[in-house]
Structure formats: C-alpha cells, structure tokens
C-alpha cells in the first residue's frame, strides 16, 4: 500500500529540522507576492537554505506561485522560476496558466503542481492540466470524501488533499477593507497577518463564528471560522492511494504545526502498518489535537462529510 506524503507549511527556516524530525515529507514555502496565504515569508536566500536542509534529509520543497498575475508581473515570474530551477526546487505550485507557459520557456524541466484552490473538482479538469504539463492536482477543499476517492480513481496525475488547518472562503485581488475604510475617510494599514494583534474578524452572531480576514499584496482573504481535522478519517483516502496529505499552518504557531505534524505522522504510519492499531488510537489523537486547539477555533471535517455550512 502506498504511503501518502505528509506535506507541511513551515513558518521559518528554523522550523524545518524540527518538522523533519516530526515526520514531514515535504514543505510548501515561498514569497507572499507569488504565493497565496503562506504560513511564513521566505526570501530567496531562505528558499535556498530550506531546499538544502530538506534535500540533506531526503525531503522535498515545493514553492508556491499560485497567485493571479497581471502583465507587469510576468517578467518577475520568469525570473523567479529561473531562480527556483537553479536551486533545484522539487516542484512549483501554480494556478495561473501564465506560470505554466513561462515555465516552459525558462525552466521546461521544472515539475508543476496545479492548485487553483476552488476549481479542481473533477478528474477531467485534473487530467487536462496533467496533459498540459502538471504532475499533481491539488483538489478543492469543497469536495466530499466520495468525490475525492472517485477523482483519484480516474486521475492521471498525483492528487493532493488538505487534511488539516484553516481554509480560505473568499479572495479578491482588490483590497476591499482598505477601500472601504478609505471611502469612510479612515486609514487602514495593509494587514500584517503574522501579528495577531492586528487581525480583523467578520462576526456572525447567528452561529457565533468569527471569520479571520486580512489583506496583503494579493488582495483580501476571508478565512474559515473552524479548522479542518480528519486525523480519524484518513483510511479511505490512504486505501484509494491519495498521494499527498497537506497540513496548512497559516495563522498558526510553529509549535502548533509541529505537534499536529507529529500526530498525523503517527496516524499515517500506524494505518499502513497496523490498521487495527490505528482504529484503537484515532479518537485519542483527535482529542490530543483538540487539547492544543485555540479556544475560539473549533475542529470540524470541513466538506468531507458536508459538515461545513458556510
């Protein structure tokens, strides 16, 4: 049985070694201007350091370039892709077809993972981008477990699924909050999402939910009020051969990402080696994550079993 890759989003280069020891197989990093909703900001030098560390331990590094690019950004996209090819990144995560087209020109051997956040909802679309050059498709977070399994059964590319963390409900390239406050005659500093003291929330009194919202160079992002956690429901996807399980650490602490990684590593390994053992401890693993979860952010199964209603 194929063991799925455990994919993690570190906040800093210093997080890499602890996460490798915790069981991470691969990492997603990058610069905010190229990638959407990264857990941390990695300069070019830090990207190179991260790749050196990962490759020294037979792990992989993927760099996010899944932003939406305007004409004036294309030259920078090409320059960044050439740099990533030079430092031997294992893959580039893209959503905008411009990245694929530019990559064919400046780094044709570079592996590409297709991720548009919301539109990877069927195997035909996944295979379309596979035939265009993508090696992997990152499935939309809105899919049910049955749809994920069915897509994997018919896919010609690797399939990646987010199994833990916050999800994005809405993104606009426009700075909607900033525009609104400016219209009101007030100034709003573009959100530095790494400083919790400045985080804004949309409040839903009916459900008593708070939706984190921030602005950065890629626009406005409204995030889910709860975190996905399906550590106790991994079996079907492992049996189906899903290639990669992602833990998204955006807006989380380094320690939280580390502890969650340890628990998913244990769950995956145990399911492969001793399915009955996994069944015995999966509930306790869920309880251990609940114990370190922020009090204002509940855990749910997202859209896997249609629990999410937003």
- pLDDT tens digit string along 13-50? 999 999 999 999 999 999 988 988 788 899 999 999 99
Give the CA distances from residue 246 to residues 159, 161, 266, in Å, rounded to whole numbers and listed in that order.
Answer: 11, 6, 15
Give, as one character, the DSSP assignment of residue 94: E
Evaluate whether 115 touches 94 at the Cβ level (below 8 Å): yes
At a CB cut-off of 8 Å and minimum separation 6, what does 216 contact?
32, 190, 191, 193
* Residue 239 φ/ψ region, left for φ over 0, alpha for ψ in the -120 to 50 degree band, beta for the rest: alpha
Write down the pLDDT at residue 227: 84
- The Cα–Cα gap between 30 and 93 comes to 10
Contacts of residue 128, defined as CB under 8 A and 6 or more positions apart, other chains included, come to none
Counting as low any pLDDT under 50, the low residues of the chain are 180, 183, 188-197
Residue 9 has what pLDDT? 96
* Helix or strand run (H / E) with residue 98: helix 97-106
Domain boundaries, the chain: 5-167+226-300, 171-222
> 254 near 12, Cβ under 8 Å?
yes
Fold for domain 5-167+226-300?
TIM Barrel (3.20.20)
Q: HSE (CB half, 13 Å, CA atoms) of 277?
A: 9
Residue 70 CA to residue 106 CA, distance in Å, equals 18
pLDDT tens digits, residue range 81-116? Answer: 999 999 999 999 999 999 999 999 999 999 999 998
pTM, rounded to two decimals: 0.86
Please give the pLDDT value at position 209.
64
DSSP assignment of 135-171 equals SEEE--TT--HHHHHHHHHH-SSEEEEEEEE--EEEE
pLDDT at 166: 81
Residues 246, 229: Cα–Cα separation, whole Å: 11
When computed from its CA atoms, the radius of gyration of the chain, rounded to whole angstroms, is 19
For 211, half-sphere exposure in the C-beta direction (CA atoms, 13 angstrom radius) is 17
Please provide the size of the chain in residues: 310
Residue 193 is predicted with a pLDDT of 44
* Per-residue model confidence (pLDDT) at position 197: 43
């Amino acid at each position: 049985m194929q063991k799925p890759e455990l994919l993690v989003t570190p906040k800093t280069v210093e997080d890499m070694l602890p996460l490798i020891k915790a069981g991470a197989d691969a990492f997603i990093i990058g610069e905010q201007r190229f990638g959407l909703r990264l857990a941390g900001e990695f300069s070019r030098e830090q990207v190179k350091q991260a790749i050196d560390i990962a490759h020294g331990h037979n792990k992989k590094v993927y760099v996010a370039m899944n932003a939406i690019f305007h004409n004036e950004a294309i030259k920078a996209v090409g320059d960044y892709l050439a740099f990533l090819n030079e430092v031997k990144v294992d893959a580039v995560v893209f959503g905008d077809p411009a990245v694929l087209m530019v990559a064919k020109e400046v780094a044709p051997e570079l592996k590409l993972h297709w991720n548009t956040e919301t539109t990877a909802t069927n195997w035909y679309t996944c295979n379309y981008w596979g035939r265009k050059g993508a090696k992997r498709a990152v499935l939309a977070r809105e899919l049910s477990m049955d749809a994920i399994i069915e897509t994997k059964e018919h896919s010609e590319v690797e399939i990646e699924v987010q199994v833990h963390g916050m999800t994005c409900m809405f993104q606009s390239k426009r700075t909607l909050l900033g525009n609104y406050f400016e219209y009101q005659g007030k100034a709003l500093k573009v959100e530095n999402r790494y400083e919790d003291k400045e985080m804004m929330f949309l409040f839903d009194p009916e459900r008593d939910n708070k939706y984190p919202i921030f602005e950065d160079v890629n626009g406005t992002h409204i995030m889910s009020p709860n975190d996905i956690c399906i550590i106790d429901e991994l079996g079907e996807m492992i049996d189906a051969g899903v290639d990669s399980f992602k833990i998204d650490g955006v807006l989380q602490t380094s320690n939280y990402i580390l502890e969650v990684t340890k628990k998913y590593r244990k769950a995956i390994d145990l399911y492969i080696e001793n399915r009955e053992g996994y069944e015995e401890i999966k509930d306790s693993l869920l309880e251990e994550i609940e114990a370190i979860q922020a009090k204002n952010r509940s855990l749910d199964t997202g859209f896997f079993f249609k629990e999410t209603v937003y």
